[in-house]
Amino acid sequence: MSAFCVSLLRSRCCARFAWTSPLSSFRNYSEYAKSRTSKVSSSPETDHIIYGEDHFSMRASLRKIIDKEINPFVDKWEEDEQFPAHRVFKILGQAGFLGVDKPTEYGGLGLDFTYTVAIAEELGNIHCGGVPMGIGVQSSMSTPALARFGTDELKREFLAPTIAGDLVACLGVSEPGAGSDVANIKTNAIRKGDDYVINGGKMWITNGCQADWMCLLANTSDGHPHRNKSLICLPMKFPGVHVAKKIKKIGMKSSDTAQIYFEDVRVPCKYLIGEEGMGFIYQMLQFQEERMWGVANVLAPMQTAIQETIDYTRQRKIFNQSVLDNQVVHFRLAELETEVELLRSLLYRTVDQYVKGIDATKLASMAKLKAGRLVREVMDSCLQYWGGMGFTSEVFISRLFRDTRLVSIGAGADEVMLAVICKYMGTLPTKK
């Protein structure tokens, strides 16, 4: 081939495959990146891992209720150390938010658990931790076993009005000597004729001062501690049920927490949920959903803490510059934001596995462990940058700091989550 032909071929190829850098029309890469982001970014509704358009529509509807019916009153409820559960639950019940994953024949929406998680996330935008916790107990902690295993009669008497917000529910598991060690509870329900006679006591019962009924875990026989327990629907106005006191707490102040005693309380045997002796198993299933719910609910508070700290440190001046301009501050906030997103991804993977019917116990335990530890890290780090103001009750960060401390304790302490994870890893020592 002649030199002329080679030159002509090269010129034609170059013309055909000519490439002009997209950066050429921009002054720098930042401008280019911004332009690309505006073109390719899609709405969360179209590319979310587990949520679709209906999830976001539901969250938007709930946000309107939060902004109108809840957040304007939170400060007053914090002072009163109790929110009006019957009023709030009735509003939420009428809007369908107390039974999104419960059967339609009992007033639920019949949706899958991803919708419950979406609701839990949105409830994190309430300006305290106590109210979301009370709502979570009502919708996702007291009722899963009843919805799955209860008789039709039982569900119509307790589940339907709970979903509607007509009854306030609480969960009776923890006791003074048995918090995370559920197998060690001492409350007994002894069968006598057509009744169970209940004696014992429960501790740290959320909604306990206002509840109309309790999903009670009690020993119904002797024997192995994993096979001698049952769940029972217990009306709180039955003779022998005593709300001993409202427990004062360092956080979650708007949520009433009760110590409750039972003295020869007679409950019809028909109030048994599912099979006798299966209560421990049922409760472990309830705990899985409770833990995922708790992780979802703490995401927004962490984001809020980070963003409010950014806003505060940007305008707060020290040594002739904003606090935020110190590298140690904006780098630390970037680390925390990264950790929150990693936790979010773990949660979504866990929920996806759960709704597919795959055992998510290990991942749920990991997510719960990480949530408890990360929220402490986020709130402590953020509060530090608020200086003296962070140590007052006049700023939101101090409330978040107090309220979220419970995440590492409730629904299974960090140490229990570690033991569960070790069990799945095959590293937990066997008992001798």
Q: Which residues are catalytic?
A: 290
Give the angle subtended at the CA of 200 by the CAs of 196 and 202, to the nearest 5°. 110
> Distances in Å between the alpha carbon of 333 and those of 84, 124, 319, 395?
36, 20, 20, 19
Query: What is Dmax (Cα atoms) for the chain?
Result: 109
Phi then psi for residue 224, to 5 deg, are -60, 135
Residues 287, 292, 295, 296: is their CA dihedral positive or negative? negative
Count of other CB atoms within 10 angstroms of residue 348:
18
CA–CA distance, 166 with 215 (Å, rounded to integer): 16
CA–CA distance, 415 with 428 (Å, rounded to integer): 12
Q: For residues 396 and 358, is the Cβ–Cβ distance under 8 A?
A: no
CA–CA distance, 45 with 54 (Å, rounded to integer): 8
Q: For residues 377 and 400, is the Cβ–Cβ distance under 8 A?
A: no
